[in-house]
Structure 1
Amino acid sequence: MAGGRFLLVTILNVVITVFELLGGLLSGSLSLLSDAFHNLGDALSVILSYVAHRIGARRQTRKNTFGYRRVEILTALLNAGVLILISAGLAFEAVRRLLHPEPVKGDIMLVVAVVSFVANLLSTILLNRGSKHNLNIRATYLHLLSDALASIGVIIGAVLITFWHISWVDPLITILVAVYIVFESWPIVKQTFGILMEGAPQLDYDAIAQDICALPKIKGVHHLHAWQIDENNLVFSVHVNMDDLPLSQVEPVYRQIEALLCHKYNVNHVTIQAECHRGKDEALFFKQNDWRHD
């Protein structure tokens, strides 16, 4: 992801934030003020995303042998979590406005919303390409996309307020946008939390075991572990039972297993432990008390 695009998106979001804050105060529009705070969060999100992306690109070290890619996962979780908290606060204020309506100047609201939509749309386009294969950038992209959609809602609300004086539509739009943001952010929270907890990726482990056992010289598979460094890097370890063979004959089997896992299951870091009789009757997945018998 080019640093120039991150910088441009950050500048756009800062400008939009100031513009919407002024517009929201002048018009009395809650949806504009909520969008302004949302854009401020976006600007911070873009900065965090860029810093995390640079850190995540560093090479492995003796201290961090898997590298620094988890920094991007932490940032994605932070961004999505902040979005949910902001949305909850905005929804609470919107409910209060529904119960106690306040006057809104629709003409000012409309002009500010149109300008904000154009700027948000441009920011979204700038980050779209990098959002498909990176959770960190995807979380930031969702920040910007939700703002663009919020601006559409604000535009519709401004039209209704300007021409039909329906003031309650302003907090209603705020609630709808807040619900949408939570709906889009929650999957990122779940996925990043799962990665940080070293949850197993969604693979067909029974099929993997069958494929490995189908290879020549493999007698059994046990103590399988799989986890993710980030959404694109899968780590896999497994114990395999083989005949009592010299190491020179075991290594080609290792290469076959690695090729199978890489090409069929997109696993890119494999650790294999060959055993003759040890563990042959144990389960595919490691049980907490198995180590006592090893």
Structure 2
Amino acid sequence: MAGHGHNHNHIDPDAGDARVLWAILVNLGLTVAQVVGGLLAGSLALIADALHNFSDAISLIIAFAARKIARKPADSQMTFGYGRAEVVAALINYTTLILIGAYLAYEAVMRFFDPQPVDGWLVVIIAVVALVVDLVTAALTFTMAKSSVNIRAAFLHNVADALGSVAVIVAGGLILLYDWRLIDPIATLLIAGYILWQAITEIGGVIRILMLGSPPDIDAEAVLADLRGIDGISGVHHLHLWQMQENEAAVDAHLVIFEGQWHAADAIKSTAKARLAEQFGIVHATFELECAVHACHDAPVIGHEGKGQHGHGHAFDSRDQQPGSR
């Protein structure tokens, strides 16, 4: 998939802090109420929901701290800046979700072998209050979640918790109507399954950023083709394409300039940067220019050679064109 029309969302970095703080406070308060209610009612599902709700609060605290850290300017220790603090926070939050989901699944299975009496009314009342708080928290973070992987991780924590509250309400209702105790661990398993599915689905994109993977919406081959199509460029190699942050792609590459075109090298470089910005939304581009006569020898098109394999000579990659062959 080519990256044409690559979207960059720019938002006020200070926007939303108050909303995140309110979301933290209401989730911490709800967690206390759910734990007390779960213990009094004897409901594992309600305690499971409380545990997940507590993780919501922790995830929001981590997200809030990461937002603050990410705004720090670049310095001699972090020359790319601190923007990836939000990506690290997202990784922590998704990993936490996976651990919570696995723990809840284990507890639910154990409860199947040892069913416990459950106070259905208390479960339903507390779960309804929890659902209201979950919806309020989701509303507070919904807009920011669209443009931040960090806030999105916290938001998805909350969405899972809202669904968990619905499951607990249903479980409490069935206990009241039919005294069906097994519905409590069944509801817990449903909550755990959704948490695991959600976290495993989302964590891959976060790992991709931290592993310096190419942006999922930008095709490296399309970038190479665009660069090769620029007048004056006879070849491209050592291409690196990655995400500096969630919404900021970057590229560096060696551009081989046709023999006799070195006088236009600066203009060719400017054209290449403008082309990538226009076609792919890549605004951070670094190019090393090489004259065709002295280009790197047997250089890989993507990535670098292994240690000690650097060489220079009159050579091109397999798709380079000789002067006059266009």
TM-score of the pair, normalised by structure 2:
0.86
Partner of 1:285 in structure 2?
302
Which residues of structure 1 form unaligned runs of 5+?
none
Q: CA deviation at 1:246?
A: 7.5
| Cα deviations by residue, 1:84-103 (Å, 9 ceiling, x for unpaired) | 10111111000011121111
Q: Report matched runs for 1:16-55 at 5 Å.
A: 16-55=30-69
Determine the C-alpha separation between the residues in 2 that align with 1:259 and 1:187: 35
How many residues align? The count is 294
Alpha-carbon contact 1:201-1:226 (below 8 Å) kept:
yes
Question: Mean alpha-carbon deviation: is it higher for 208-217 or for 244-253?
Answer: 244-253
1:156 to 159, 170, 185: 170
Determine the C-alpha separation between the residues in 2 that align with 1:268 and 1:126: 31
2:239 to 208, 224, 227: 224
Q: Percent identity?
A: 35
2:269 to 254, 263, 269: 254
SS state at 1:229 partner: strand
The RMSD of aligned alpha carbons is: 1.6
Q: CA deviation at 1:2?
A: 2.0
1:273 to 278, 283, 288: 288
| Cα deviations by residue, 1:196-232 (Å, 9 ceiling, x for unpaired) | 1212223322222121111111111111011112211
Of Structure 1 and Structure 2, the greater helix share is in 1
Partner of 1:124 in structure 2?
138
The 3 A distance-change label for structure 1 pair 246 and 220 is: closer
| Cα deviations by residue, 1:228-274 (Å, 9 ceiling, x for unpaired) | 12211111001111134687622221121111111211212100111
Structure 1 runs of 4+ with >6 Å offset: none
Paired letter, 1:179? G
Alpha-carbon contact 1:83-1:143 (below 8 Å) kept:
yes
1:198 to 203, 212, 216: 212
Which residues of structure 2 form unaligned runs of 5+?
1-14, 313-326
Determine the C-alpha separation between the residues in 1 that align with 2:143 and 2:309: 46
Query: Is 1:89 the equivalent of 2:103?
Result: yes
TM-score of the pair, normalised by structure 1:
0.95
Determine the C-alpha separation between the residues in 2 that align with 1:185 and 1:216: 46
Alpha-carbon contact 2:256-2:289 (below 8 Å) kept:
yes
Q: CA deviation at 1:178?
A: 0.8
Alpha-carbon contact 1:77-1:188 (below 8 Å) kept:
no
